[in-house]
Chain A
Amino acid sequence: MPKRVGIEVSLAASEAACAADTDVVAAYPITPQTHIVEHLSELVADGKLDAEFVPVESEHSAMSVCVGSSAAGARTFTATSSQGLALMHEILFIAPALRTPIVMVVANRALSGPISIWNDHSDIMAERDVGWIQTFAENGQEVFDLIIHAFRVAEDPEVLLPIMVNLDGFTLSHVIEPIEMLSASEVKRYLKPYKPQMVLDPKKPVTMGPVGMPEVYTEAKRQIEALLQGSKKVVVKAWKEFAKHYGRTYKPIETYRMKGAEVVLLTMGSVSETAMTAVDRMWDKGMRVGLLRFRLWRPFPLQEFRRAMRGVKVLAVMDRAISYGGLGGPVFTEVRSALYGTFEQPQVFGFVAGLGGRDITVDMFEEMVKKAIRYAKRGKGPTYEMIGVRER
């Protein structure tokens, strides 16, 4: 029986990597990911996890070691945040190209400047296009489960791509809450040992990562794109299998009280729980508001999203990152693009909120919804605006 315990979400993330019997951990500590890496080094030092822990001197090296160890056939895990993720940037593109199924937890945090150690989604949104599968957790239970799920999907021979599991720094990573922890033996039933298709081995040499001449580069890029798009069915299947084993059901998109909703709020990550409370409160006041949340962000679940949006007239999208000089937050622009040309194209309004640790409250969600309704009635509004900005 899985054990229900009160545990800090960061530690649960490490325990998940441990239960998955990770072979190599290469990581550099950075707030607010620190507790994940600390606990993993403890687990290795205490002999609870039989893994090579590589204490590198930077995140650039961390990701380089991960690519190398994964190419050598080792189940590989790492975690980072913010500036650390940014420092990995150039290596992030290489991991999918080399078909290295690395699992990385990103404790989402703002990017400098000004320096901020607090939560938003600036870090991950700057890495949207690196070719990794990306999922977002709402609570501690999901963090644990998505990490186990990530290994299964990443190592599937039809996928062999790296995955980032996103969790909100501090607002989720540093919270103690009840989590059902699966033991290593329980995880083993779902997650089989990694069988690499090809390994770096001096006895049987292969070349990984050669130059892509103009004659092959386009084809290589198209392959990665096809793999990433095609991974969705494996992602979904692995969630179905997860439900069979452990009873918890996950889907690419989660909806809440959408039936009869006039307006829909769109969120990602742990604030979706606060948004649910806001939605309940608004229904109590006679406002018909639904909630839609992306659990899977890459590959973008286009059909599921369009299906969920059928009949919706107004959509209020909340972004936790700003796209300087652009048309709105990254989620907003993408979501609006996804709805372009659909039969009942809803009116879409973007809101940027909760930057650099600014608390996102039930009141803020109500403000976004009210504004979206007002703009929709008027037939126009700002394409996007920032919420909770102090003017004085």
Chain B
Amino acid sequence: MIEIRVHGRGGQGAVTSTELIAIAAINEGKYAQAFPSFGPERRGAPVMSFARISDAPIRTREKVYKPDIVMVLDPTILSIVDVTAGLKKDGMVILNTAKEEGEVRKAFGIKAKMALVDATGIAVKHLGRPITNTTMLGALIKASGVVNIKSMKAPLQDRFGRIAEKNFNAMNVAYKQTA
């Protein structure tokens, strides 16, 4: 079972990102859960959302305390939240940043495996808005392989309708650029 925790700010689509990946996994015949950090919605405040993906039925409803993967939608979160809290030993941080890996490691003391992509840059170019949730999913899928990127097409279509294609393109660009 892969456990994922997403950090973002209210309004950036952290909850949507875990929903989309869970639905894609379920459509592949896997088992998955996605849920928000329950509470009132607060635009701009740091928020988390969670997903579990597994080949077997998932039998727990705890929050995710020891994630395999942490995905950070907004680089400004790093200075106020310890995003690596509880991260498994061989866990991975997937980060939206335009900075170099060494610079990020030094500034925030992150020792875990990392995958970086300039999702804000990609989102602004392809979506015209700095909303990075769908873009970051490209990076997540590249770095973890939890689902096939093609499986994202249907959930994106259901969710976004006419702007689904733009989102899928941004996701694909991030998939290719993630290092």
* A interface, CB within 8 angstroms of B: 4-8, 32, 117-119, 170-172, 174-178, 270-271, 273-274, 276-277, 357, 359-362
- What's the Cα separation between A271 and B60 when bound, in Å? 7
Q: Are A359 and B63 in contact (CB under 8 A)?
A: yes
Interface size on B, residues (CB 8 A): 25
User: Digit string of B153-164 for contact with A (CB within 8 Å is 1, else 0)?
Assistant: 001000000000
- What's the Cα separation between A357 and B31 when bound, in Å? 25
A-B residue pairs in contact (CB < 8 Å), sample of 30: A5-B27, A6-B22, A6-B24, A6-B27, A6-B32, A6-B155, A32-B38, A117-B39, A118-B38, A170-B38, A171-B38, A171-B61, A174-B35, A174-B36, A175-B35, A175-B61, A176-B19, A177-B22, A177-B26, A177-B31, A177-B34, A177-B58, A271-B61, A273-B60, A274-B61, A274-B62, A359-B62, A359-B63, A361-B65, A362-B60
- What's the Cα separation between A175 and B63 when bound, in Å? 11
Q: Are B62 and A360 in contact (CB under 8 A)?
A: yes
List residues of chain A with CB within 8 A of the CB of B33.
175-177
List residues of chain A with CB within 8 A of the CB of B32.
6, 176-178
Beyond contacts A271-B61, A274-B60, A357-B38: 13 other A-B pairs, Cβ-Cβ < 8 A, are A6-B32, A6-B155, A7-B23, A118-B38, A172-B61, A174-B36, A175-B35, A176-B23, A177-B22, A177-B32, A274-B61, A274-B62, A360-B61
Q: Are A361 and B36 in contact (CB under 8 A)?
A: no
Interfacial residues of chain B within 28-71, with CB under 8 A of chain A in the complex: 31-36, 38-40, 58-63, 65
Q: Are A274 and B23 in contact (CB under 8 A)?
A: no
- What's the Cα separation between A357 and B27 when bound, in Å? 30
List residues of chain B with CB within 8 A of the CB of A171.
35, 38, 61
Task: Report the minimal beta-carbon distance from A24 to chain B, rounded to whole angstroms.
Answer: 29
List residues of chain A with CB within 8 A of the CB of B27.
5-6
List residues of chain A with CB within 8 A of the CB of B23.
5-7, 176
Q: Are B36 and A273 in contact (CB under 8 A)?
A: no
Q: Name B18's closest neighbour in chain A (CB-CB).
A: A176
- What's the Cα separation between A176 and B61 when bound, in Å? 12
Q: Are B40 and A117 in contact (CB under 8 A)?
A: yes
Q: Are A178 and B61 in contact (CB under 8 A)?
A: no
* In the complex with contacts A5-B26, A6-B27, A178-B26, A273-B35 CB distance below 8 A: no
Partner of A176, one of B34, B62, B63: B34
Q: Name B29's closest neighbour in chain A (CB-CB).
A: A4
| Most chain A CB neighbours (cut-off 10 Å) among B26, B31, B59 | B59
List residues of chain B with CB within 8 A of the CB of A118.
38-39
Q: Name B30's closest neighbour in chain A (CB-CB).
A: A178
- What's the Cα separation between A118 and B62 when bound, in Å? 14
* In the complex with contacts A4-B26, A6-B23, A274-B59 CB distance below 8 A: yes
- What's the Cα separation between A156 and B44 when bound, in Å? 51
- What's the Cα separation between A378 and B34 when bound, in Å? 43
List residues of chain B with CB within 8 A of the CB of A276.
59
Task: Report the minimal beta-carbon distance from A69 to chain B, rounded to whole angstroms.
Answer: 32
List residues of chain B with CB within 8 A of the CB of A175.
33-35, 61
| Most chain A CB neighbours (cut-off 10 Å) among B19, B58, B59, B61 | B61
Q: Are A176 and B38 in contact (CB under 8 A)?
A: no
Task: Report the minimal beta-carbon distance from B20 to chain A, rounded to whole angstroms.
Answer: 9
- What's the Cα separation between A362 and B27 when bound, in Å? 29
List residues of chain A with CB within 8 A of the CB of B61.
171-172, 175, 270-271, 273-274, 360
- What's the Cα separation between A300 and B65 when bound, in Å? 36
- What's the Cα separation between A161 and B53 when bound, in Å? 40
* In the complex with contacts A117-B40, A172-B61, A274-B62, A6-B35 CB distance below 8 A: no
Task: Report the minimal beta-carbon distance from B169 to chain A, rounded to whole angstroms.
Answer: 23
Q: Name B24's closest neighbour in chain A (CB-CB).
A: A6
Q: Are B26 and A6 in contact (CB under 8 A)?
A: yes
User: Digit string of B1-35 for contact with A (CB within 8 Å is 1, else 0)?
Assistant: 00000000000000000110011111100011111
